[in-house]
Amino acid sequence: MASSSQASTRAEDLAWVHSTTLGVAAYRQAVIAVAKRHLSGLEKPFDIYSSTASTAYQPWVGIARQSSHTLQTLATSYAIDKAFPITARAYPAMWATNCAGWDDRGADLQCVTCRLDSAHNLAGSTDEAKSKIMVLIVTRADIEGNPKTAYEVLDHPGTIGHVAVSGPHTRFSNLRVPAKNVLAPPGHGAEIIEVAFIASAALVGAMSVGLMRRCFESALDFAKRDHRNGTAPIITLQSVVDLLLNIKIRCEASRALTWKACSALEANPAAAELAYETKIFCSENAVQSVVEAMNAVGVVSYGDSQPFGIMMNDALCLPLFDGGNVGVRRRQIEALFSTEDYDPWASTFGKTSRTVFRGLEHDNRAGSSNA
């Protein structure tokens, strides 16, 4: 480590080269910047939240104090490389659609949800964990400005459906991004993610409707033109028509629920329940519709000359992704049902639903008494 006199001489040399008068204030800021940039490399492992009484960190604490700052301040303020390091401590990221970009070096823009683990302590209650969740923006330039090992694509897992979608298995290893890239600070990240997943739940309903529509059209077309070695197309068979009717009803009901959920997202504070119900109802109906379409068509539907196998592989993903129906979406509705002020019809009629119903009930009673 350079002595104070050597550091002063070096600062004076730099000031002379740049024809700049380096005053006390400028010199102090330069010292802070140098300390911040190189401090963490002097001691491994380096923890800015270490106790000031720790013997191992006494020299670095002393440097910080001489600049009138704590280690935490040096690590988060006033310096030229202020940044957040992103590291996957437990499980590398997986199924983040298209996040690897075209060349496995990252998409143009990523929103990374992570936890501010300042004390390297993963324990704590759910509320404590949520208070540490944040969202960072990561760009291609950020990745290129880090060592190559800071961002790696480990694998491109194969899927039975949606084969054109990229859901890579990636890993962050101390990838540093500027502090200005904070999209949601700790304590606000969880709320933003929850809101984003409300809207996406309704969109899964739209995906399900599209698949059911294609499924119905394919089965109907087959039933009208194929006789199955009989004297008439199988559309004339009641059992086939019943199966097609089930698919059509599910499709129309799912379309109506999806439309209602999407239209309520920005107008009704209680619209989250509709979005969750849309995700569950539509995605599970999509799977059942493909099953019944294959039953209507018969064993030929299992051949790769028919589209039903591809549809089934795609449909099976709908209840599982974007928050699984069993582990996430039904649990979200369960939590809503359990709240003290839960209004069963607020998601349908708005927060005034109880008042409206009471008013209608009063009017009906008044009308009956007058009659």
Annotated active-site positions, please? 322
Q: Does the bond joining 45 to the residue before it have cis omega, within 30 degrees of 0?
A: yes
Distance of alpha carbon 266 from alpha carbon 259, whole angstroms: 13
Residue 79 amino acid letter: A
Which helix (DSSP H) or strand (DSSP E) does residue 115 occupy? strand 109-115
CB atoms within 10 A of CB 186: 17
| 70 phi, psi to nearest 5 deg | -85, 170
Give the residue from 174, 371, 347 showing the smallest Cα distance to 271.
347
Give the residue from 170, 165, 197, 193 showing the smallest Cα distance to 98.
165
Distance of alpha carbon 316 from alpha carbon 286, whole angstroms: 8
User: What DSSP state is assigned to residue 122?
Assistant: -
| 298 phi, psi to nearest 5 deg | 100, -170
Do 166 and 98 meet the contact criterion of CB atoms below 8 Å apart?
yes
Name the token pair of 71.
């280690």
Helix (H, G, I), strand (E, B) or coil at 282: helix
* Distance in Å from the first CA to the final CA of the chain: 98
Degrees to nearest 5, angle at CA 15 with 11 and 18: 140
Residue reference for tokens 């599209």: 210
Residues in the chain: 371
Give the residue from 49, 32, 48 showing the smallest Cα distance to 40.
48
Tell me the β-bridge partners of 176. 85
